[in-house]
Structure 1
Amino acid sequence: MSRQRTYTAEITKAHVALLERGVILSKQVDLFRLVNRHYYTLQNWHDQNTGWRIQRGATAIRLVRQLSAITPGYVYDRLREPRDFACLTWILWYAENRQLTGRGNEQQFLLSQFAEQIQEQSLSDVDNETGFDFRRPADRYSIQRALQYLEDLGGVQLVDGQTKEWLEQAVDADVLYEFTDVIRSLVSAFNPQLLAVVAAHLNNEGKTLQPTLLQHILADRFPVMAIKPLVRAWRALLLGPILLRYDDPEAFAELVVHADEVANELLESFGWLLDVNRDYACIVRASGMS
């Protein structure tokens, strides 16, 4: 009985760690070993409920999460402004553009050269007001926050220099960064074509108040996005903060039908509670925070 409780507690801890951490690095020894030990059980759970894949390698493990709808989610501590997220996207584009085939110095880049290339690319298809101009302090801080976010994930590491000096435009200030193996996992989930289609939809002001299911937006261009309603409900709940009936009526209706089953699975796997109301559903965690 004690062994079963230990096993259940380990599975719960591994589930929560995968969901709450963008990447689990090998230097986080205990968590890394825990998730590796229960990998097949964890992956089987996601195969049945979310369709997400657990990507694991020698240095990192990551739950590759996929959206089913373009609804607002949590704001990260490091990324708060729209241009912060834009910078993050450009960094992933930059990493992909280098094809990630090198080692050592080939994975290193100077912040000044990197910023120059992003600025040039961002101005190629838009007006000067929406493109990046890293002479503006706000844009410099956006790229700094995006890089810090990736550094926290383990995707890049600082090799030489002081980012603060570059931000303040000190004379001859520059910073040398290096992509790590973790960036490969992030880039593998980066789909520029999908991003372009969704961005075009979001920029169409006539559709901003419409439900935002990806499979409706993408139609037949990305057939993989045809996800079952209950799977969409699981994804929305786990990504948070809530599943709105308005955003996905079909998934919400399916959740209501299977509410007891989902609630039991959620409690058993994560130790969390399910709260279903007339127009929304959300997860209530042990701390009382949804």
Structure 2
Amino acid sequence: MTTPLTEVLEGQHAAEIRRASRALLKEPLLLAHGARTDEFRLVRRHATELRDWFDRNTGWPLQIDTESARLRKIPGTPADATHPARETSRAAAPFSRRRYVLLCLTLAALERGESQIALGRLAEQVVVDTSDPQLAAAGIEFTLERRDERLDLAAVVKVLLHLGVLRRVAGDEDAYVSGAGDVLYDVERRVLAGLLATRRGPSLVQAAAFEERMSELAVETALESDELRFRATRHRLTRRLLDDPVLYYDELSDAELAYLTRQRAFLTSRITELTGLVAEVRAEGIAMVDPLDDLTDVRMPEQGTHGHITLLLAEHLATASTPVPVTELRRRVRELATEHGGFWSKSAREPGAEPELVEQALMKLASLGLIARTSEGIAPRPALARYAVGETVVLEAGAAAPRKAKK
């Protein structure tokens, strides 16, 4: 039997919506030119439906013009530090505190500047801005006299190149870092204007503590009715289901848990319909699993030395019933180097490498929601149990495998 034309067209439409939504979730800023032109065209073609879905279910505004599409994502947990900005290089090192400051000052300088700017001129403006007494009191210093400072600025600029805020006209950042040349950029002002994704301007935030400042940046309108409160709860939960690797019930407020208990099927089915993510519901929480395995910035397991060490430490932590001290994990890495060092890089086998190797592994496990850092040490979270290795069962030739007991 032939499939009716209407069903074919509806299937194509749904597939395009899914591709467009996944593209926005993976890269919330899409440009009309460059490597993701096709995704941008899809988003623009289905702008009305996408805008309505994100507004209704997450509260994330979607702004689209002829040059860019910007999904202004606000995380469900604003103070979450497990997904930092990273270098665009292969190492993908997380941004330091100074690089975050330089990023903000660079954006401010670009906003005040012209449509073209040289890296040397941009650096001079940043140096002037870092002389602000408040920054100096906070321990921020930037003079361009040291190579590591120029490397930090170059890393910030490369992120802006990746985002499309800057477009290189001539020159090379590595030459600038070594003092052998300069770089000229076009400033894409419309892209620059769309970067900020806050509910209020940073200059209006009055709180002193970090978490309070983050909350004020993302503050919602006054919730004066049950309908508004329910909508805000739906937005927070959907954001976390889309963004967080695992949504644990014990991290929710009583009101959020009650809402999720009643509306779980509705929330997860809406996400599945739009994105293709599949809900894995357990006693401790919910994970939206991606069958295509491309809607993540952190993968596990992963090839290479660091991926191997992370997997081995995950196996070790999965069997722990109490928090494990970091010193014990470092000792465990030394033991693993003796057993598996032949498969590791030379630097990972050197004495004294354990602290860095353990920290990199813990950062990955934390970003995946598999562990929690406590004052007593590293506590395994329920989802880590899938990396536990069971007891080895040796079967005689021709023997049947043991059956698992039904739960």
The two structures share one fold, judged by TM-score above 0.5:
yes
Correspondent of 1:81 among 65, 72, 95: 95
Equivalent residue letter for 1:193: S
8 A Cα contact 2:151 2:177, kept in partner: yes
Distance 1:15 1:259 in 2: 21
TM-score after normalising by structure 2: 0.58
Aligned CA RMSD, in angstroms, stands at 3.0
Cα deviation, 1:218-259, whole Å, max 9, x if unaligned, reads 39x955386711211112232334445565424354333321
Q: Secondary structure of the residue that 1:235 maps to in structure 2?
A: helix
Q: Offset of 1:14 from its aligned partner?
A: 0.9
Correspondent of 1:218 among 209, 216, 219: 216
8 A Cα contact 1:156 1:178, kept in partner: yes
Corresponding residue for 1:49?
57
Distance 2:142 2:248 in 1: 34
Amino-acid identity (%) = 24
Corresponding residue for 2:148?
138
Distance 1:254 1:185, change over 3 A: same
Distance 1:140 1:248 in 2: 43
Unmatched 5+ residue regions in structure 1?
A: 99-105, 203-211
Corresponding residue for 1:237?
241
8 A Cα contact 2:120 2:183, kept in partner: yes
Distance 1:164 1:137, change over 3 A: same
Is 2:16 the partner of 1:6?
A: no
Distance 1:231 1:132, change over 3 A: same
Corresponding residue for 2:161?
151
Equivalent residue letter for 1:134: L
Corresponding residue for 2:124?
116
Distance 2:249 2:74 in 1: 20
Correspondent of 1:18 among 14, 21, 24: 24
Q: How many aligned positions are there? A: 268
Distance 1:133 1:236, change over 3 A: farther
Distance 2:234 2:130 in 1: 38
8 A Cα contact 1:26 1:58, kept in partner: yes
Equivalent residue letter for 1:224: T
Corresponding residue for 2:43?
35
Unmatched 5+ residue regions in structure 2?
A: 1-6, 88-92, 224-228, 294-298, 300-367, 369-407
Is 2:203 the partner of 1:193?
A: yes
Distance 1:134 1:42, change over 3 A: same
Equivalent residue letter for 1:177: Y
Q: Offset of 1:279 from its aligned partner?
A: 5.3
Distance 1:248 1:117, change over 3 A: farther
Q: Which runs of 4+ in 1 moved over 6 A?
A: none
Equivalent residue letter for 1:236: R
8 A Cα contact 2:85 2:95, kept in partner: no
Deviates more, 1:46-55 or 1:244-253: 244-253
8 A Cα contact 2:130 2:136, kept in partner: no
Corresponding residue for 2:341?
none
TM-score after normalising by structure 1: 0.79
Deviates more, 1:77-86 or 1:150-159: 77-86
Corresponding residue for 2:261?
256
**Rg larger for:** 2
Whose RCO is larger (CA < 8 A, sep 6+)?
A: 1
Distance 1:76 1:19, change over 3 A: same
Equivalent residue letter for 2:221: V
8 A Cα contact 1:108 1:177, kept in partner: yes
Correspondent of 2:112 among 97, 120, 125: 97
Equivalent residue letter for 1:23: L
Distance 1:193 1:245 in 2: 35
Is 2:270 the partner of 1:265?
A: yes
Distance 1:37 1:256 in 2: 36
Distance 1:123 1:245 in 2: 46
Q: Offset of 1:157 from its aligned partner?
A: 0.9
Q: Secondary structure of the residue that 2:195 maps to in structure 1?
A: helix
Deviates more, 1:263-272 or 1:72-81: 72-81
Distance 1:146 1:118 in 2: 12
